[in-house]
């Protein structure tokens, strides 16, 4: 936390995210954080993970194809 504004510091890496999630688990176990709030945090962390996973797979596909850019994919 930033002591002057009481805002949490932004999480900038997967290592920081793991540490944050483990801290949250400890806080829930100690009764210091509401379980519902912790579930919300975990859901958001899952979305971050899913996005990173897609980006890694995309980069690997580009590398495997020897391309700098993948053509557009429709939905």
Domain ranges of the chain: 34-66
Beta carbons of 62 and 68 less than 8 angstroms apart:
yes
pTM, entire model? 0.65
Buried b (16+ CB within 10 A) or exposed e, 12-41: eeeeebeeeeeebeeebeeeebeeeebeee
Could you list the pLDDT tens digit for every one of the 75 residues in the chain? 555 666 878 888 889 988 998 999 899 999 999 989 989 988 998 998 898 888 889 888 888 888 877 666 665
Count how many residues are written for the chain.
75
Give the model's pLDDT for residue 70. 65
pLDDT computed for residue 1 by the predictor = 56
């Amino acid at each position: 936390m930033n002591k002057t504004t009481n805002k949490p510091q932004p999480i900038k890496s997967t290592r920081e995210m793991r540490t944050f999630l483990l801290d949250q688990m400890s806080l829930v176990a100690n009764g210091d954080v509401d379980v519902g709030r912790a579930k919300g945090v975990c859901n958001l962390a899952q979305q971050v993970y899913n996005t990173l996973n897609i980006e890694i797979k995309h980069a690997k596909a580009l590398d495997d194809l020897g391309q700098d850019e993948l053509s557009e994919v429709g939905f």
